[in-house]
Amino acid sequence: MSTPLEFTDAARERAAEILGRYPEEYRKSAVVPLLHLAQEEWGYVSPEAMACVASLIGCSPVKVAEIATFYPMFNKEPVGENVLAVCHTLPCALTGCAGVYDHLSKKLGIGLGETTEDGRFTLRKSECLAACDRGPVLLVNRRLHTHVSPEKVDEILENLDKG
Amino acid sequence: MATITIDDQQYTVEEGRNLIDAAADLGIDIPHFCYHPGLAPDGNCRMCLTEMEIRPGQFGIVTSCTIRIKDGMNFRFNSPAVLDNRKGVMEFLLINHPLDCPWCDQAGECKLQDHSFDHGRGHSRFVETKRVPPKKDLGPHITLYTTRCILCQRCTRFCDEITGTSELGVVQMGSKSEIATFEGVPLDNKMSGNVADICPVGALVTKDFLYKPRIWHYEKVDTFCPGCATGCNTTLEVLHQKIYRTKPRHNEDVNGYWMCDEGRFCYHGWQDADRLKAPLKRVDGELRQVTWPDAMDAAVGGIQAVLAVEGEAAMGVVGSSMATNEENYLLRRLGAEAFGSPRTGLDRKPDGEAWTSKSGFHIDADKTPNTRGARDMLGAGSLDDILQGIDDGSIRGLYVLGGDIGHTLSPDVAEAFGKLEFLVVHDVHRSDLAELADVVFAGAIPFEKHGTMTNAQDRVQRLNPAFPPPGGAREDFAMLRYVAQRMGVDLGGTDPAEVLEEIAGRVEGYAGLTYDLVGDQGVMKGGEEPSEAAGG
């Protein structure tokens, strides 16, 4: 690991608030919200960020790594401004997620897990996003789009451009 | 006690015990991977599934390791549902497991192998490609063969519950899950070797026991560790006069299921030492190898000369905390009866580091196994009286038991011993003590001895030899008897068991002890219960 990471003062305050929600003997319960905070702070959860969270909780860093690596929505590598995740579980596969993914891949010129050169988009596949009746679904950052199609995807990206 | 029903048979078992242990008490083996009696039950491997009556007439599948026995419980261990579930669990566990038993170090003591044979299907329906994650170097002693791991998490729980160091975790998700350490925080604690013992498969192995002969070739010797005054009970695995592995042997009152890494690997230091294989005698100022009769003549002649010129009590004896109770006892009798000298001493090794794990497993600061016993037998706890005797000229000769490869004399002791007219030493290598001697008897290391020792808790435990001493070296016990005999004193007992009986009649606290009573689990001095539950 390189140099240890430290939260900014503002983030420290929020971390203290998060830790305060849980009884002292269950400090480890704060690991997920603290990882979210770390991801907001640095854009992704590096080993250094995991170690920072572990030191706040007072646990072994591997216990934070267990959680951080379990959840795919914690970015373990730097990502673009917008993360696009196409669900590729069975119901979405049946309703045509492959076409959506291929369209995005061609349009952005990037493959799985890659980020566009301008740093605007990262393309991913995701496990079930719990909207099987409305597939195929696409997660754009924290917002879920349902019944997506190549045309609808173009529209979504345009709206993102508009900001 | 509780009455339970297993497959329509009634049994009486201890209430509150978990089902796996209760069944084991009855001689019924419930297959399991993740449960270990030294760790809290986790219920993750699903191998111990059995059926329990959850409502009258209705059975449900439960994990035996998490079930606590209550009166009236009704189980089925061999119903079609149970057998089918086991087969299914085995099939799942084997999905990514490689078929590398022929070169896996665990083969022969592998739970997966055993359970697959007893409960598996014999063929797999998995036609996809197996995952082949690379092996990982987890720490100084442990390697993880990631492919073989079944994720039972005994190792992670060991590091959480027993050592409290939590270096191991399960990272990633689903079929990509792996045991891992965090970058820069290796599996490096004082007890890390235990994770290889408790790993039910060949995933975690000690680097010390890699590519060694197959486990079924070894002779197993139950003894205890000479590494510190805790005296963890161990089993040595021996082949062709060589120790290949030390494993902890369960003793709830001493070490539980565990031992420390220092103790586990200490056999190397002993077994690789440059040993004395014949006695030595000082000729023209230099120690030379001689025959036993020659050395014996020299020793007895030298002692008699000191006694003749300086009078009785001019010879003292110094015991050793590496020697057994019986050896220290015979030494004291040799001093008292053959030398006419009651003056005894014990050269204490300086204390090392003491450490207690989260669970209470204790590594003693005294890095010798028998300080308590040597003290009890000799009636002396230090060298003070001997050093003073040398200083005031009342002691002109000494008979010293050495035998600790890790001990060097302190400068003042070395200086005092240097002033002696005659020094007989028992030792196992050319130590600084041996270098001062006029006669050196080539003795045995703790892995070559019979006898008992008394640990820091006052527990008397039995030492069993893995192999005989090398070349012309002899057990110190035999030499002491022979020297006494040459000086016209019969020390009685021809083996440690007989001497222990004599000790039982003469040494305070040892009354009633016999070799059989000490057995393979040891017994408290004075018949007391252990003062504090160690083990952890």
* B274 belongs to a structural domain: no
* B35 belongs to a structural domain: yes
- CA nearest A63 in B: which residue? B169
Q: What is the pLDDT of residue B81?
A: 95
Q: What is the pLDDT of residues B292-324, one digit of tens each?
A: 999 999 999 999 999 998 887 899 999 999 999
Q: What is the pLDDT of residue B310?
A: 80
Among the partner residues A51, A59, A69, nearest to B171 by beta-carbon distance: A69
CA distance A65 to chain B (A): 6
Here the CATH number for the domain that contains residue B145 is 3.30.70.20
Provide the mean pLDDT of chain B.
Answer: 94
- CA nearest A4 in B: which residue? B184
On whether any CB of chain B is under 8 Å from the CB of A159, the answer is: no
Residues in chain B: 536
Write out chain A residues lying below 8 Å of B169, CB-based: 60, 62-63, 65-66
Task: For residues B137 and A46, give the distance between their C-alpha atoms in angstroms, rounded to a whole number.
Answer: 21
Q: What is the pLDDT of residue A161?
A: 73
Here the CATH number for the domain that contains residue B57 is 3.10.20.740
Task: For residues B8 and B3, give the distance between their C-alpha atoms in angstroms, rounded to a whole number.
Answer: 12
* B427 belongs to a structural domain: yes
Write out chain B residues lying below 8 Å of A66, CB-based: 169-171
Q: Is B465 within 8 Å of B243 (Cβ atoms)? A: no
Question: Same domain for A88 and A123?
Answer: yes
Residue B422, SS3 per DSSP:
strand
The sign of the CA dihedral B293, B298, B300, B301 is positive
Q: What is the mean pLDDT of residues B58-79?
A: 96
> Band of the pLDDT at B536, cuts 50, 70, 90?
very low
Last residue of a domain, one of A70, A94, A117: A70
Question: Same domain for A153 and A86?
Answer: yes
Q: Is B95 within 8 Å of B62 (Cβ atoms)? A: no
Q: Could you tell me the residue range of the domain that residue B28 belongs to?
A: 2-93
From residue B336, how far is each of B332, B347, B368 by CA, in Å?
6, 19, 25
* B268 belongs to a structural domain: no
From residue B212, how far is each of A103, B97, B107, B217, B222 by CA, in Å?
56, 22, 11, 10, 20
Q: What is the pLDDT of residue B530?
A: 52
Q: What is the pLDDT of residue B528?
A: 61
Q: Report percent pLDDT > 70 for chain B.
A: 98
Q: What is the pLDDT of residue B534?
A: 47
Q: What is the mean pLDDT of residues A138-158?
A: 93
Question: Same domain for A15 and A86?
Answer: no
Q: What is the pLDDT of residues A72-106, one digit of tens each?
A: 889 999 999 999 999 999 999 999 999 999 999 99
Residue B22, SS3 per DSSP:
helix
Q: What is the pLDDT of residue B533?
A: 44
Q: Is the pLDDT of residue B287 over 70?
A: yes
Write out chain A residues lying below 8 Å of B185, CB-based: 60-62
Q: What is the pLDDT of residues A105-127, one digit of tens each?
A: 999 999 999 999 999 999 999 99
- Residue type at B118 in one-letter notation: D
On whether any CB of chain B is under 8 Å from the CB of A17, the answer is: no
Write out chain B residues lying below 8 Å of A63, CB-based: 166, 169
B166:A63 CB<8 A: yes
Q: Is B473 within 8 Å of B467 (Cβ atoms)? A: no
Q: What is the pLDDT of residue B334?
A: 95
Write out chain B residues lying below 8 Å of A71, CB-based: 173
Question: Same domain for B35 and B148?
Answer: no
Question: Same domain for B19 and B72?
Answer: yes
Here the CATH number for the domain that contains residue A52 is 1.10.10
| Rg of the Cα atoms in chain B | 28
* B253 belongs to a structural domain: no
Question: Same domain for B344 and B413?
Answer: yes
Q: What is the pLDDT of residues A42-73, one digit of tens each?
A: 999 999 999 999 999 999 999 999 999 999 88
Residue A148 contacts by C-beta under 8 Å, 6 or more apart in sequence?
A100, A136, A137, A138, A156
Question: Same domain for B75 and B138?
Answer: no
Question: Same domain for A86 and A125?
Answer: yes
CA dihedral B499, B501, B505, B511 (to 10 degrees): 120
Q: What is the mean pLDDT of residues A28-40?
A: 96
Last residue of a domain, one of B178, B194, B211: B211
Question: Same domain for B206 and B322?
Answer: no
Q: Which residue has the higher pLDDT, A131 or B528?
A: A131
Among the partner residues A1, A65, A71, nearest to B169 by beta-carbon distance: A65
Q: What is the largest CA-CA distance in chain A?
A: 51
Question: Same domain for A131 and A66?
Answer: no
B180:A65 CB<8 A: yes
> Band of the pLDDT at A133, cuts 50, 70, 90?
very high
Write out chain A residues lying below 8 Å of B171, CB-based: 62, 65-66, 69-70
On whether any CB of chain B is under 8 Å from the CB of A60, the answer is: yes
Pick the closest to residue B273 from B417, B364, B399, B402 (CA basis): B402
Pick the closest to residue B372 from B356, B348, B399 (CA basis): B348
CA distance A3 to chain B (A): 12
Q: What is the DSSP letter of A77?
A: S
Q: What is the pLDDT of residue B380?
A: 83
Q: Is B59 within 8 Å of B82 (Cβ atoms)? A: no
ipTM above 0.90, yes or no: no
Pick the closest to residue B502 from B458, B451, B465 (CA basis): B451
Q: Is the pLDDT of residue B409 over 80?
A: yes
A72:B170 CB<8 A: no
Q: What is the pLDDT of residue A160?
A: 84
Task: For residues B63 and B437, give the distance between their C-alpha atoms in angstroms, rounded to a whole number.
Answer: 65
Q: Could you tell me the residue range of the domain that residue A60 belongs to?
A: 9-70
Which position has the token pair 């092996």?
B135
Q: Which two tokens stand for residue A113?
A: 């897990």
User: DSSP states of B164-205 as a string?
Assistant: -----EEES-GGG-EEE-BTTB-S-STTTTHHHHH-SSSSEE
Last residue of a domain, one of A49, A70, A91: A70
B169:A47 CB<8 A: no
**Which residues partner with B52 through β-bridges?**
B60, B75
Q: What is the pLDDT of residue B121?
A: 81
Q: What is the DSSP letter of B108?
A: T
Among the partner residues A62, A71, A72, nearest to B182 by beta-carbon distance: A62
Q: Number of residue pairs across A and B with CB atoms under 8 Å?
A: 41
* B192 belongs to a structural domain: yes
Task: For residues B440 and B429, give the distance between their C-alpha atoms in angstroms, rounded to a whole number.
Answer: 10
Task: For residues B379 and B398, give the distance between their C-alpha atoms in angstroms, rounded to a whole number.
Answer: 17
On whether any CB of chain B is under 8 Å from the CB of A72, the answer is: yes
Which position has the token pair 């063929």?
B123
Q: How many Cα atoms occupy the beta-carbon half-sphere of B53 within 13 Å?
A: 14
Among the partner residues B165, B173, B182, nearest to A65 by beta-carbon distance: B182
* A4 belongs to a structural domain: no
Task: For residues B150 and B92, give the distance between their C-alpha atoms in angstroms, rounded to a whole number.
Answer: 10
SS (H, E, C) B158-172: HHHHHCCCCCCEEEC
* A75 belongs to a structural domain: no
Question: Same domain for B44 and B159?
Answer: no
Question: Same domain for A111 and A146?
Answer: yes
Write out chain A residues lying below 8 Å of B151, CB-based: none
Number of domains in chain A: 2
Q: What is the mean pLDDT of residues B218-239?
A: 97
Number of domains in chain B: 3
